Amino acid sequence: MTRWLFALLAVLIAGITPVAAADKDMLPTGVEWPVKVRVGLKVLNVLKVEEVAGQARLHLELTQRWRDPRLAFDPLQQGLNRIDRVGEDADEFLKANWRPGLVIDNQVDDADSRSVALSVHSNGEAVLIERFESNFRFRMNMDAFPFDKQELALVLSLPRYAKQEALLVSTEADRRNSGVEPVLSVVDWASAGLRFTSEEGMGWNARSYSRLNATLTLARHSERYVLRIFVPILAVLAVSIFVLWSPGLKEESKGSLIFSSLLALAAISFTFESSFPGSISLNTPVAQMISLGYLYLVVVLMLEIMLASPIANPASRFHSLAREARRQIKWALPTIMVVICVGAAVRALPA
């Protein structure tokens, strides 16, 4: 008889266990579909921004809210209206119950310094808060450096469920609880706001999935780059004014000055690229100024060499023309270069 009882008990356990295991993977019942997962996001810190690599390290606080009637309980029997769990207790509870499975698609590494808290209300509403650090991949545009703003979009999605089953939303209340800390670890950047936008993504099985983009806008402190970048460039290019306006300067001296300026400009470009990665290798105003600076210095030297001979020979039939041409280019060439440099900088200014 005892043997039969053990056998019956084993059959019951075998029949119940798969159902319990499958229950945590089933969407909540008794709620309106698609199941709405409300999302809030706080950027607690920006630890690092790598423009060339297209990565940034962020410290985030991600909040998820959903309602699952299977989590409801009697507050009178429990003696409280909300049950809080933190750390390992929260993770163990989430393993045994349904969770949305939200992921950040452009997250590169695993989460570091992770902490978790879970609150379950008596009506079945669950609030999951996670804090963690990680690296994220972004598309960065350096065309306006150092006057640029970078749009760092965190792409949140529910890869397990199509949009007909679960939907990511961000209500006005969630957005009021979202935002960016005013003081960040990256000294050359300032926060310019956080916004949410919804979109759809296609899955492997051609089904549409819900996505929510949380876009962090960072504005570079461009005023910190004026002395470090533009003053050295203008100082090197100003040698051309000395070459054009200095009376009695020999052609050999002019050539030495121009070639020294070209070497100095090359040294500045290498220094900028090492100090500000992407400032020269990408299409930035700084790169345009330096590239045009090479051409400008060479043009100044070539014109000085071409006009030196007829100017020195009063008997030459081009003597008057050469003197007038030199008188004009002394003003025209520096003015054109200044206009081009200022135009490149102004064009890159944020609208």
pLDDT digits (tens, 9 = 90+) for 89-135: 999 999 999 999 999 999 998 889 899 999 999 999 999 999 999 99
User: Residue 4: which pLDDT band, with cuts at 50, 70 and 90?
Assistant: very low
pLDDT score for 320 = 87
Sketch out the chain's domains with CATH numbers. 30-220 (2.70.170.10), 224-348 (1.20.58.390)
Q: Please give the model's pTM, rounded to 2 decimal places.
A: 0.77
| Residues above pLDDT 70, as percent of the chain | 92
Which tens digits make up the pLDDT trace of 43-100?
999 999 988 888 999 999 999 999 999 999 988 888 889 999 999 999 999 999 999 9
pLDDT of residue 20: 43
Cα-trace Rg, the chain:
33
Which region among 74-78, 136-140, 172-176 has the lowest average model confidence (pLDDT)?
A: 74-78
Q: What angle do CA 340, 190, 277 make, to 5 degrees?
A: 55
**Angle at alpha carbon of residue 284, lines to 219 and 155, rounded to 5°:** 45
Q: What is the pLDDT of residue 17?
A: 39
- Predicted confidence at residue 95, as pLDDT, reads 92
* Separation CA 220–CA 217 (nearest Å): 10
180 falls in which pLDDT band (50, 70, 90)? Answer: very high
Give the pLDDT confidence of 209-230 residue by residue, as tens digits.
899 999 999 999 888 888 888 8
Give the model's confidence band at 14: pLDDT under 50 very low, under 70 low, under 90 confident, else very high.
very low
Burial 275-311 (b: 16+ CB within 10 A, else e): ebebbbebebbbbbbbebbeebbeebbeebeebeebb
Instruction: Name the nearest CA neighbour of 266 among 301, 288, 283, 291.
Output: 291
Q: What is the mean pLDDT of the chain?
A: 86
Placement of tokens 């051309």 in the chain: 240
Average pLDDT over residues 30-50: 91
Peptide bond into 232 cis (omega under 30): no
pLDDT in tens, 242-275: 888 887 778 788 889 999 999 999 999 888 888 7
